[in-house]
């Protein structure tokens, strides 16, 4: 008999006698006495090595008493103690992850249409920065045209046919570059007309909002339903980061357009990109939002997100982990009342845990075998008809997953052998690909190279990155809540793809679980935002 390798211990503030324990793959949640928690810790097997120093090992108690037979029976039934070997328990987790991923792969496709690679801002941390600052890549800055939109409608029907969950309205995000440039308006209108003719779609847009005033009449429930807009700090800070080609700022224009958009019947997410150089300005920005009344609007959701290095302009030492940012926001709320309107990176996890603790959802229904849609059902399609899995990895033909032909036929590209999952685990390739779509070689085209980074090419490699194809994640008790972390950040920080990127998730999970339980016990009322929040790393 031993403690399962997947037991999470959550210490509760101002609660010395009880501990929340969670079984990471059975989904059991239980309050136990501290003595029972100490018994479980004392009988844990040797943990796998800390992942690149991203979390510490925990001390093992030496004097824990054995619980009663009745308690042991409950612990065994709930999965906290087991007679299964470590290897067999890992195999059980691997099989559960594979089944979970099978389900994820069959869900409704999530389409991201890059209306243009062009943009009217020159943000220093943008992964597409070279396209707009290096004349050698000017040929990329074309906008989507009518023939391409017609091809995409045919392509989406083909892709839908390969996903059992593709019922009802399509899920579609407008992205760029900047999708809502004034010059793109005719193509956006045409796209909306074509989508409406095929049953409509739930349409979102990620926009810098500098030219949003040209689209106000399209911000409505039957057109563009939600938008995400980024602010990088108070006026002086923001205007140093999100600048126009002539060096001018964008803060006032964006805030004015947000005020106009807030009068429309849509959801608005205001994302604040945060690193260590601007985090202390958050309270000042929160007061600006309060002065403009944005913090009181029910369909406006304001949140801070970690901005991460995608090129040489942002130093890795300046970036936060998700946990560190969450902790700093919590500290700021103690001294700055306006910060109550600024949500942190814990909010999605807190909503998930709230559903579980309220018994509104079975825990295993919240499990994830992969981090995001790049590994399941996301299709990012650019103005050239190239298909990518991740919207932070576009523009380089060596990493695309497919193409759309002149006739609208979808050709998925198979991965090179070196991009296959590690041989030590069962391959998920047979489940990750769409057999109804043919494969063809990529058409040569000079595009922006992802210099010095692994070239993750083809649909197989992108769809096969799960917690089952990463030995570190397969051993981790938090894996089904984390999903392995962001692949783009793993590539940026570790120059590896089939590896984890934890970003302080262990600490974030335990603190968030404790806070969620305390809030529910205190009777705090919650209302989920209906605004879109995208790519929440």
Number of domains the chain contains: 1
Between 89 and 130, name the one with better pLDDT.
89
pLDDT confidence band for 430 (50 / 70 / 90): very low
Q: Look at residue 10 and tell me if it is in a domain.
A: yes
pTM of the model: 0.88
pLDDT mean over 249-257: 95
Q: Look at residue 281 and tell me if it is in a domain.
A: no
Per-residue model confidence as pLDDT tens digits over 33-57:
999 999 999 999 865 444 444 445 5
Q: Look at residue 32 and tell me if it is in a domain.
A: yes
Q: Look at residue 24 and tell me if it is in a domain.
A: yes
> Phi/psi class of residue 274: alpha, beta or left (left: φ > 0; alpha: ψ in -120 to 50)?
beta
Q: Look at residue 160 and tell me if it is in a domain.
A: no
Q: Look at residue 66 and tell me if it is in a domain.
A: yes
Instruction: Return the minimum-mean-pLDDT range out of 298-312, 323-337, 418-432.
Output: 418-432
3 state SS of 69: helix
The answer to whether residues 447 and 140 touch, using CB atoms and an 8 Å cutoff, is yes
pLDDT confidence band for 488 (50 / 70 / 90): confident
Per-residue model confidence as pLDDT tens digits over 339-383:
999 999 998 999 999 999 999 999 999 999 999 999 999 999 999
**Residue-range definition of the domain harbouring residue 70:** 2-83
Give 373's DSSP letter.
Answer: G
User: What was the pLDDT predicted at 525?
Assistant: 65
Per-residue model confidence as pLDDT tens digits over 274-326:
999 999 999 999 999 999 999 999 999 999 998 865 544 444 556 778 889 99
User: What was the pLDDT predicted at 396?
Assistant: 77
Q: Look at residue 49 and tell me if it is in a domain.
A: yes
Between 461 and 314, name the one with better pLDDT.
461
Mean pLDDT, the chain, rounded, equals 86
User: What was the pLDDT predicted at 90?
Assistant: 95
Kindly tell me if the per-residue pLDDT of 452 is higher than 80. Answer: no
HEC profile of 255-303:
HHHHHHHCCCCCEEEEEEEECCCCHHHHHHHHHHHHHCCHHHCCCEEEE
Q: Look at residue 422 and tell me if it is in a domain.
A: no
Kindly tell me if the per-residue pLDDT of 455 is higher than 90. Answer: no
pLDDT mean over 14-43: 93
């Amino acid at each position: 008999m031993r403690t399962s390798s997947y037991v999470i211990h959550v210490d509760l503030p101002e609660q010395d006698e009880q501990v929340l324990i969670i079984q990471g793959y059975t989904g059991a949640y239980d309050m136990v006495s501290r003595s029972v928690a100490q018994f479980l810790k004392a009988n844990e097997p040797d943990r796998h090595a800390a992942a690149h120093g991203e979390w510490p090992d925990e001390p093992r108690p030496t004097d824990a008493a054995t619980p009663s037979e009745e308690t042991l029976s409950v612990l065994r039934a709930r999965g906290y103690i087991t007679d299964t070997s470590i290897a067999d328990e890992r195999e059980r987790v691997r099989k559960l992850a594979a089944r979970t991923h099978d389900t994820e792969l069959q869900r409704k496709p999530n389409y991201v249409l890059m209306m243009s690679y062009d943009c009217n801002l020159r943000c220093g941390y943008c992964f597409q920065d070279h396209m707009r600052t290096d004349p050698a890549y000017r040929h990329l800055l074309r906008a989507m045209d009518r023939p391409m939109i017609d091809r995409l409608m045919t392509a989406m029907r083909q892709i839908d046919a390969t996903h059992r969950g593709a019922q009802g309205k399509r899920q579609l995000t407008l992205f760029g570059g900047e999708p809502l440039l004034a010059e793109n308006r005719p193509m956006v209108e045409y796209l909306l007309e074509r989508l409406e003719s095929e049953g409509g779609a739930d349409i979102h847009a990620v926009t810098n909002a500098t030219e949003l005033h040209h689209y106000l009449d399209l911000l409505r429930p039957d057109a563009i339903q939600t938008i995400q807009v980024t602010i990088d700090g108070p006026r002086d800070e923001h205007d140093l980061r999100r600048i126009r080609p002539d060096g001018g700022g964008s803060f006032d224009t964006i805030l004015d357009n947000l005020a106009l958009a807030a009068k429309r019947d849509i959801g608005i997410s205001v994302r604040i990109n945060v690193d260590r150089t601007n985090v202390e300005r958050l309270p000042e920005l929160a007061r600006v939002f309060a002065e403009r009344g944005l913090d009181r609007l029910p369909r406006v959701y304001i949140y801070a997100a970690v901005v991460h290095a995608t090129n040489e302009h942002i130093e890795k030492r300046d970036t936060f982990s998700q946990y560190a940012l969450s902790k700093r926001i919590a500290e700021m709320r103690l001294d700055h009342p306006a910060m109550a309107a600024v949500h942190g990176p814990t909010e999605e996890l807190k909503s998930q845990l709230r559903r579980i603790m309220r018994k509104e959802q079975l825990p295993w229904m919240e499990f994830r075998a992969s981090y995001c849609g790049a590994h399941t059902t996301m299709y990012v399609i650019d103005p050239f008809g190239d298909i990518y899995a991740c919207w932070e990895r576009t523009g380089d033909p060596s990493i695309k997953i497919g193409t759309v032909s002149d006739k609208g036929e979808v050709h998925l590209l198979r991965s090179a052998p070196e991009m296959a999952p590690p041989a030590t685990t069962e391959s998920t390739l047979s489940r990750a690909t769409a057999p109804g779509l043919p494969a063809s070689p990529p058409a040569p085209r000079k595009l922006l190279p992802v210099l010095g980074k692994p070239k993750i090419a083809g649909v197989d490699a992108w769809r096969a990155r799960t917690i089952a194809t990463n030995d570190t994640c397969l051993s981790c008790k938090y894996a089904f809540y984390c999903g392995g972390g962001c692949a783009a950040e793993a590539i940026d920080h570790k120059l590896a793809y089939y590896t984890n990127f934890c970003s302080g998730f262990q600490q974030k999970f335990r603190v968030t679980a404790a806070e969620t339980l305390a809030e529910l016990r205190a009777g705090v009322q919650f209302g989920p935002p209906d605004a879109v929040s995208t790519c929440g790393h």
